Structures are given as C-alpha cells and as structure tokens.
Structure 1
Amino acid sequence: MALRVIGLVIPSGATAFKAVNVAQKAGVHTSSVRSLRYGWLAYALGERTTPRLKQNSKIITLDGNLSSGKGALAQKLADKLGMLYMPEPDTFYLDKMTGEKEPLPVDFNGMCSLEKFYTDPKAADGNSYRLQMWMYTMRLLQYADALEHLLTTGQGVILERSPFSDTVFLEAMFKEGYIRKECVQHYNEIKGISICEFLPPHLVIYVDLPAEDVQKKLKQSGKSYLQNVPLTYLKSIEDSYKKSFLPKISETSEVLAYDATQAQDVERVVEDIDYLKFEKGPWLEQDDVTYHHMRMLVEDKQKVATLTHIPKFLPEITIGAHDYDEKYYAYKSLPGKKYAPGYNADVGDKYIWLK
C-alpha cells in the first residue's frame, strides 16, 4: 500500500513528538523529565496521570468549513485558556514530526497533492482518495500528539479539526463523485478499527459560515488552486457537519456552535466554556490505569500509524513490490536516512562507533 511508506519515516515516541512545530510560547515536553520515554517502569515506580489534570486539561477541537475562521478562534482561545494550540495538519505533517528542514518529496508524504485535488478532483490516478486517506492518518497522528501532551503535562490542547470530524470530507467527496463507493467502504473500515482506540474531544466548537460566503473567501485567498472550488462541494461539507458529524459527536462530547460573527467574540466563547459541566463522554470513566494504557499507545507513533493499515487491495492506494522497493531505497539514499538518527556520518554525526 502507498500509505505504508509512512513506516519508513516515523520516529518512535517522544522523539517524534518533540519535533512537531506548534504555535505556543511553551515548547512541547520542555522539562528534562520528558526526554525519557514513558513506559511500564515509570508507571511501576509511581508516575500517575490524574494528579496533573486540572480544570483546563481538555482536548478542544475547532470545526467548520474551509476558511470559516476557526483557526483564528482556536489560537485566541489557546492564549486565553493557557492551552497548547496545534494548527491543522497538512500533507507534510510527517516531516514536521521528523524535524525535516525542508519538506520531503510527495513520494514520502502520501503520494498525493492538495493542489491537484482542487484543480482536478476526479483525477484518474486516484489522488483524491489517497489525499483523504493520508490526511486521516495525519489527523490521527496529530491527535495522538495532542493526547500525549495532555496526559504527560496536564496542559490542555486546542486543535483545528480531528480524525473524528475528518469524515465530512469523505462524504462530500463521494457525494460529488470524486471517489468510488469502494473507497468509502475502505475508509469506514479503517476508521472503525482505529478511532475506537482514542478518547473523543471533551469539546467540539463549530464555526458556521454559509457555503456561499466560504466560496467568496476562497476566491479572495490568493491561492490559485482555491479559486474554483465548487459550491456544491462546500455545501456538501456543510451538510455533513450539520446532519452527520455534530449529531454523532454530541453523544460523547460537549458541542458549542457559533456563526462566524459570534466566533469573533472570544470572551463570550470562553464564558460559554466555563458554564459547561462536561458531564458526559468516556473521559468520565478514565483512571490512572486506563490513562497509562492510552499513554503507551499515543507515544508509539508507529503503532498509531499502523492502525490505518489493512491488507486490502484498492487501486487508489496500492503500489506494487517493485515500486515500493524503488521508493524505499530512494528514501534510504536521502541524507541522514540510511541509519537511525545519530548514526549517519553523511550529515555530520560524530563518535558513531562509541554509541
């Protein structure tokens, strides 16, 4: 499978998480203690999660259509609430995890293109579904990062979208005829065996902007590939949010909804959050034992990524053995990729024989 190339480049545990770029004053796991990977020994020696969880130790996701203003609200809320803000991942999120100075070629980032999707959504090479499946994997990895940060430091995290809401794009793609029914079935199978391993957000904030206004903002964005996004596609995303995602997620998470104008009043949103009692959802059933198992999972990014892999043939995401070998050796030939980090003389690693 094309997405299995992810196995070549994901570092393990804390190494992966520390490399992620996030927009917040405090770094991720900045204390010396966090340089050590959490494990069974730490738990056996008495490290517990619940003592560090406070009032704002929450996972909050901001959802809404394209260019709805959710990003601006997310950043302001993070500042107000003292939480970590993690911007929405792009197709190169994996490169941020591995600390690449420059994005690697798309062959090592899902073999898909966001620009190509918007300019040619019905491309015969299956780009649309590869993009959708890759972005679900990136959202899953980022969500694992967010959970790891929350459980390790006690600081809450605010994200733009999540793997739970990712399905709105799948439904819109299928409705517009961009992907096949078999792709939908494959995605639902993948999501069914992966999302169940994670706790849902404590709170989902939905920013509502009519599809017509979204289209106008996209045309003004200056990005050429966003100039002609079909209104029907944007409406499909909006409908999926309102008819599918929000009713479903409200069963386990608190939900607040605002129109784009109301969302600019950050003080009001903060006040509404303070009034919430957070009296539903699986977070209420957790204890130190379940938090321990969750931490063990989310720090192992290779294991998280593997949750999205099933041995099933699908032309859009399947590559042959020869193509896989070609990409594998092409990746290994990149500077600093032949051996594990710290053991590559070609990028200046020293005293390798002493390690």
Structure 2
Amino acid sequence: MQHKRGIVGKALREPGYSRPAPFPYKEKEYTFWRALLDDTTQRFDENSKIIVVDGPPTGNKDKFAKELADELDMFYIPGANMDSIYVNEYGFDRRTINHKLPQIFHSVDIEDFLRNPNRRATTRLQFHLMKIRFTQYQDAINHLLNTGMLLTRKIICQ
C-alpha cells in the first residue's frame, strides 16, 4: 500500500478540524528538556510545508501568495525588500537624500536595479536582499517547526 500526502485547502478539510496548539516560541525557549516532552512533529499535517512563490520582479506574486496562504490556512511571509535597511527606527528613509550624495553612495532599491542593473552599488543591494531572505528563511523554519504552517518567498532568487 502506498501513501501519498498532498496539500488540502479549507474547502476540503474535514469539518471541525483544528490544529494542535503551537509552541509559544517567541516567549519561551525550546530547550533540550522541552524537546523530550514536546514533539514538534505532532503539530504537522498535510499542509506542513514551505511553499515558495517565485518569479520575475514584476507581477502580483505577493497578492497570489496571500490568497494561497489564506486558502490553505498557512502563515504568509512577504518577500524581502530594502525598507528594513534604508528606513531607520524614526521613519527616515535614506533614499530621500540620494540626490545629495555621489552615485557610489546612493541607496539602491529594486526599482533602481531594474532601471540600471550595471551600477556598482547593485552588488550591495543583492547582498542585503540575500541577507534579508536568509533571515526570513530562518524565521520561516522556526515558525514551521513550532506551528506546522507556512508560506513564503524563496531565499535564493534574484
């Protein structure tokens, strides 16, 4: 007998289905002793997967990913953007002073990259985006192991 698992949407779920309570990983530490008593695989079901939505920089990937996450009852993580790097804790956006700086010191975002991909500063953009994606992927794995649900964007995409 061969068993295959798939992904189940809200419409096809059994009536009254509910997920086990997630481990409060943001408040408590998952230590060795907790691992002995609390098995994370008990929270897994058909939808315990990381789904990656990838494609060219244009398009409605975020909208599609949100709708898919809602239909599959998963947690949505938005794609990486440079706002976390360029906007400080006071709300000031460093990109607003680009016109006062030399070209090499400009804050480059995706729109600038698409307009001129051969600028020297685009390597800095790619490095920061990869760093943000890696951090998001770590958070995604953490969330998946503690709750059993997730939908995200890809870590390795340009």
TM-score of the aligned structures, taking structure 2 as reference length: 0.66
1:36 is aligned to 2:31: no
Question: 1:159 aligns to what SS in structure 2?
Answer: strand
Higher helix share: 1
Q: Distance in 1 between matches of 2:32 and 2:115?
A: 49
1:51 is aligned to 2:45: no
- Say if 1:61 and 1:158, in contact at 8 Å, map to a contact too: yes
- Say if 1:78 and 1:84, in contact at 8 Å, map to a contact too: yes
- In the TM superposition, residue 104 of structure 1 has moved relative to its aligned partner by 6.6
Q: Name the counterpart of 2:114.
A: 118
Q: Distance in 1 between matches of 2:32 and 2:135?
A: 22
**Structure 1 vs Structure 2 CA RMSD:** 3.1
Distance 1:63 1:33, change over 3 A: closer
- Say if 1:92 and 1:103, in contact at 8 Å, map to a contact too: no
Question: 2:35 aligns to what SS in structure 1?
Answer: helix
- In the TM superposition, residue 129 of structure 1 has moved relative to its aligned partner by 0.9
TM-score of the aligned structures, taking structure 1 as reference length: 0.32
- Say if 2:22 and 2:147, in contact at 8 Å, map to a contact too: no
Residues 56-83 of structure 1: CA deviation (Å, up to 9, x unaligned): 1110011111223322221111111100
Percent identity between matched residues is 29
Q: Name the counterpart of 2:3.
A: none
Distance 1:93 1:55, change over 3 A: farther
- In the TM superposition, residue 33 of structure 1 has moved relative to its aligned partner by 6.4
Q: Distance in 1 between matches of 2:78 and 2:62?
A: 7
1:92 is aligned to 2:83: yes
- In the TM superposition, residue 128 of structure 1 has moved relative to its aligned partner by 1.0
Distance 1:82 1:101, change over 3 A: farther
- In the TM superposition, residue 141 of structure 1 has moved relative to its aligned partner by 0.7
Q: Distance in 1 between matches of 2:38 and 2:22?
A: 18
Q: How many pairs were matched up?
A: 127
Structure scoring higher RCO (CA < 8 A, sep ≥ 6) equals: 2
Distance 1:71 1:43, change over 3 A: same
1:140 is aligned to 2:134: yes
- Say if 2:137 and 2:155, in contact at 8 Å, map to a contact too: yes
Q: How does 1:292-303 map to 2 (within 5 A)?
A: none
Residue type of the partner of 1:139? Answer: R
1:60 is aligned to 2:54: no
Distance 1:144 1:104, change over 3 A: farther
Q: How does 1:1-355 map to 2 (within 5 A)?
A: 34-44=26-36, 46-93=37-84, 100=89, 102=91, 105=94, 112-114=107-109, 115-123=111-119, 126-155=120-149, 157-160=150-153, 162-164=154-156, 166=157, 169=158
Q: Distance in 2 between matches of 1:33 and 1:120?
A: 42
- Say if 1:58 and 1:150, in contact at 8 Å, map to a contact too: yes
Distance 1:112 1:47, change over 3 A: farther
Distance 1:113 1:154, change over 3 A: same
Q: Distance in 2 between matches of 1:37 and 1:94?
A: 28
Distance 1:69 1:42, change over 3 A: same
Question: 1:35 aligns to what SS in structure 2?
Answer: coil
Residues 260-306 of structure 1: CA deviation (Å, up to 9, x unaligned): xxxxxxxxxxxxxxxxxxxxxxxxxxxxxxxxxxxxxxxxxxxxxxx
Residues 193-246 of structure 1: CA deviation (Å, up to 9, x unaligned): xxxxxxxxxxxxxxxxxxxxxxxxxxxxxxxxxxxxxxxxxxxxxxxxxxxxxx
Q: Name the counterpart of 2:18.
A: none
- In the TM superposition, residue 102 of structure 1 has moved relative to its aligned partner by 2.7
Residues 151-205 of structure 1: CA deviation (Å, up to 9, x unaligned): 01112x1123x123x2xx3xxxxxxxxxxxxxxxxxxxxxxxxxxxxxxxxxxxx
- Say if 1:94 and 1:138, in contact at 8 Å, map to a contact too: no
Distance 1:140 1:84, change over 3 A: same
